[in-house]
Structure 1
């Protein structure tokens, strides 16, 4: 039971990293990205290939996974720079599916549908199963904390305020002299770096990756995390990720208690429960559990500021 709870914590941390990356792309810049799992896979495969086939250190593999996620994010952003809304969503979804098909067929590189096994984990042999799981939980928690504070500073920096302006109305931002495309590309790069980092950590934790892991359902879970927590809020992204993992795992124990359900029916019922819970949450908390703040945390809005008016001339 202890190992199971630790594994849940690691999963929640990886979900939180992905939700933080999505928050930069969607919550701050307003770019609809349905290809999250594709960038997650890029990070996982990059780190796995570097550490298993080339024998590079795990740290270098993880850094390369995050960097490759950022690079691929830049390429996708440049290709889709002129697209908006549904069109951008369709292209990014197609990118993730194309990547999964490539990973399934390029046996010489990814070992095809058999996947890559034996991915090394930091101190796995020295710590043993229980010690390794606990160490990895601490590592993931530290990385989530570091990324959270970095993105918090980014959110309230001039760069973050420009991203919000682009999200609200990119034409007004362009008229104000901001190079909108450059900011969108940078937002994609930063967000996809977090997605690639999450993918690299996942591979080194599970020691195995395969194309069937990187399905669109994972993207939906991450979007669900951000919607539940609060779009545009880094705290909401982390809280939403933890709640989604806890909710998904708790339903795993409830379904077997219902008589007459097969395994397939139980899995479908879990998805229905998750969808219903999201509908209820958004019905009563439209902006999520932790709505986006509308004032700078270091410069709080003055209560009487709105009431002050300039003096009128007689």
Structure 2
């Protein structure tokens, strides 16, 4: 049970990190990217291939993020002046191009044989008692940070912050906020208790869990500073109506390009962690479904809200594990039908959400850009 919850924590954190890059592109800037997995693929392969050449992991991750950002630059220079629907088509095409390259260029990526036996972070690390206690203390600080951020966002949604209160919520809306908040709080406490146990009985996965939680917290905090800066306000203005910042003398194309590149770099870092979680990567590991899972997380949690992305990842993986458990021993339907049914259920949930609360759980309705 402990090992499975560690896996669940790594997966939720990984997808949250991946979706934060997409949220920067779509939620804050309004750029439709249906090929987000391409950035993850580039980051993963460059990180592990450089590691096999003896390059330190931290440098490999940085170079993978730079390469993913360079891919964003290449796509952006050729496509960001296109209409939104054309940009979506281009990103899908680039994603498939990257997948075909890693699948067929065996001299570079080992093709369908996959890349195996590459160095892993904390692969041979064995902490003593003091080291284990230090890691548990660090996990405690991270948990306190997450609880503070979630509380701050839920308080804003409930109208306790007068500066952004706006219209008061209906009782049903308040009830839904409390419900999702309770789910998030339960998951966070489970992660903390289970993570503390896993770190005390240290294993590679436990170390990877702590590392990705640290990176996720740093990326989240950095993005939070950026989107509340003048740069972030320009991105929001571009999302709503790019003619207004253009009239104020802003270089719209440059801001879009920066957002696209930074979102790609974040996805590249997520790709490195994805490769470390799998410990062996194949071209089939980077399917288009990863992109649309990230879209589900962003839409569910609330586009344009980074805390909503974290909450969306928690709910998505909670749903995934719950439905796997419920349908695992079913005698009514087979495994392939179970997969289709799970996709249908989450599609139905999204349809209901788009009708009932189109801005997502933590999204702001006054900032909703869908349908404009």
TM-score (norm 1): 0.90
Distance in 1, Cα, partners of 2:272 & 2:287:
16
5 Å-filtered alignment, 1:50-199, equals 50-52=50-52, 54-127=53-126, 131-199=203-271
On the 8 A contact 2:99/2:286 being kept in 1, the answer is: yes
- For 1:139 and 1:213, the matched residues in 2 are separated by 22
CA–CA distance in structure 1, aligned partners of residues 209 and 286 of structure 2:
22
Determine if contact 1:119/1:203 at 8 Å carries over to the other structure.
no
Matched, 1:274 2:346: yes
What's the RMSD between the two structures over aligned residues? 1.6
- Could you tell me how far 1:283 is from its partner in structure 2? 2.4
User: Following superposition of structure 1 onto structure 2, how do residues 40-55 of structure 1 map, counting pairs within 5 Å?
Assistant: 40-52=40-52, 54-55=53-54
Q: Which residue of 2 aligns with 1:6?
A: 6
Residues 156 and 293 of structure 1, relative CA distance in 2, 3 Å threshold: farther
Provide Cα deviations, 1:204-230, integer angstroms capped at 9, x if missing partner: 232111111111111010000000000
Report the secondary structure of 2:124's partner residue.
helix
TM-aligned CA deviation for residue 143 of structure 1 = 0.6
Task: Name the counterpart of 2:158.
Answer: none
1:13-42 deviations in whole A, cap 9, x for unaligned? Answer: 111111111111001110000111110101
Whether the 8 Å CA contact 1:3–1:130 is kept in 2: the answer is: no
Measured after TM superposition, the shift of residue 117 of structure 1 is 0.8
How many equivalent residue pairs? 294
Report if the CA contact (8 A) 1:248-1:274 is conserved.
Answer: no
Structure 2 alignment gaps of length 5 or more: 128-200, 368-372
Q: Distance in 2 between matches of 1:283 and 1:293?
A: 12
Report 1 or 2 for greater relative contact order, CA contacts < 8 Å, sequence distance ≥ 6: 2
For 2:355, the equivalent position in structure 1 comes to 283
Cα distance, 1:256 vs structure 2: 2.6
8 Å CA contact 2:102, 2:111 repeated in 1: yes
Q: Relative to structure 2, which stretch is displaced further, 247-256 or 233-242?
A: 247-256
Q: CA deviation at 1:293?
A: 8.3
Q: CA deviation at 1:125?
A: 2.7
TM-score (norm 2): 0.76
CA positional deviation for 1:50: 0.3
- Please name the residue that 2:296 is paired with: 224
Give the C-alpha shift of residue 270 in structure 1.
Answer: 1.2
